[in-house]
Amino acid sequence: MKIGTVVRNEYQGILRFGKVSKVYPNHKGDNWTWCEVDWVDDEVYKNAIAHRNSITSLDHSRNIYRVDELNQFDLNKTINTLVKLK
């Protein structure tokens, strides 16, 4: 995974899109690569996390993701495919 890679992630049915902004090889000493992501239009996710935090009294927000939690995709192909659905 490289900086600038376009990725998606799904949380509780919420589809999120973003770009990798930082990469940390073996960040936690577990031989996994971890990434920070700049998410786009992520209000639904932020609201879901705020609600979860309010009912559990814990902070469930995250700033770093293991690479297997992120799915790379071809942005142009995806846009073209979605336009066909319109």
* pLDDT on residue 27: 78
Examine residue 49 and state whether it is found in any structural domain, yes or no: yes
The 10s digit of each residue's pLDDT in 6-46 is 999 999 999 999 999 999 998 778 899 999 999 999 999 99
The 10s digit of each residue's pLDDT in 51-61 is 999 999 888 98
Contact assessment for residue 23 and residue 2, using Cβ atoms and an 8 Å cutoff? yes
The total domain count for the chain is: 1
* pLDDT on residue 70: 97
**81: Cβ contacts below 8 Å, ≥ 6 apart:** none
Examine residue 55 and state whether it is found in any structural domain, yes or no: yes
Which pair of structure tokens corresponds to residue 16?
A: 């999120």
**Number of H helices and number of E strands within the chain?**
2, 5
Dihedral of CA 46/48/51/56: which sign? negative
Examine residue 39 and state whether it is found in any structural domain, yes or no: yes
Examine residue 1 and state whether it is found in any structural domain, yes or no: no
Domain that holds residue 70: 6-85
